[in-house]
Structure 1
Amino acid sequence: MPASAGPDMGDEATRQANRLFLTTRAACGADHVLAIDVTLGQPSGFAPVLGETVAPRTGHTLYLAMSGVTSTPPKAIGVGTQWQGRISFMAESARIISIGSDGRRGAWTPMSGGEIYAVDLAYRQGWTARVSELAFLTNLGRFAKARRPTCSEIPAG
């Protein structure tokens, strides 16, 4: 890593942000697609009975396809060997579909574009990152797990 902040640090920050973005998104054709596996809570009550093992109830998978994805140049403050900044990812448009664990399929529904992902990066003797995900994914909390889908599993349409 360079000893001073500058264009090289910004380029490396962009590489770090792109790597993080693609850990949960697949580039499939013109779209970047995120799969969100949603499980349901306990069948009844607040918690399982002591000593019982309750398997999570299956739910559905949401596929979010984002088109026209671009990232902002790093907005950074660099001083000596330290660097920090934010890189945002924007989508021109998006669409979403739900596939139930029982095979039921919804229809692709358009969504508005805008900021879809952001990474706050810092370099101080190594890189650290804090990711800001889509609000609706964050709101699903422990019931949702984002993952990188394979392009072949994404529903056509």
Structure 2
Amino acid sequence: MRERVWYELAQAKHNHLYCMFILAYRRKILNVFNIVILGFSSAGIMGWAFWKDFPLVACIIVSLISLLKLISPHIVPSDKQIDKLDEITDFYFDYFNKLECLWFDFNSKNIDENQLQTQFYKIKNSEKKVNKSVNEIIKLHNKKLVRKAEIECNNYLTRTFN
């Protein structure tokens, strides 16, 4: 059971870090997208007098920007998705802390193997609530961010528990 708790502790830390990294990445994408749309709006670049000499090009650019705005829910994360991902990140933070407390209690012999198992599965059952949101929000994994989370997780666990 000790190994099972350790594995879950490491996985919870990894999930928390990955959610943090993907949250920052998606916020950055949303910000860049909004800046581009704003830049090409009538108050931005498209408002310049320069475009009166090139109406066809201006029309194409405005059409492309309008098309981008229409398909944005499919290519850019929405504020609602970012809020859900923020909640998932908070869940994994709390989940990790509960597992870490359980780990320290068992290692310091404050609880026995049976108590460890009972408390572990009680904590593990709390993950069921968030799994639906995780599957809805994180459909594709970013391999670069997964690797970054693995490295940070290993560094954290090595520094904290060795």
TM-score range, shorter chain: under 0.3
Higher strand fraction (1 or 2): 1
Q: Which structure would you say has the larger RCO, counting Cα contacts within 8 Å and 6 or more residues apart? A: 2
- Structure (1 or 2) with the larger CA radius of gyration: 2
TM-score by length of 1: 0.26
TM-score by length of 2: 0.26
Higher helix fraction (1 or 2): 2
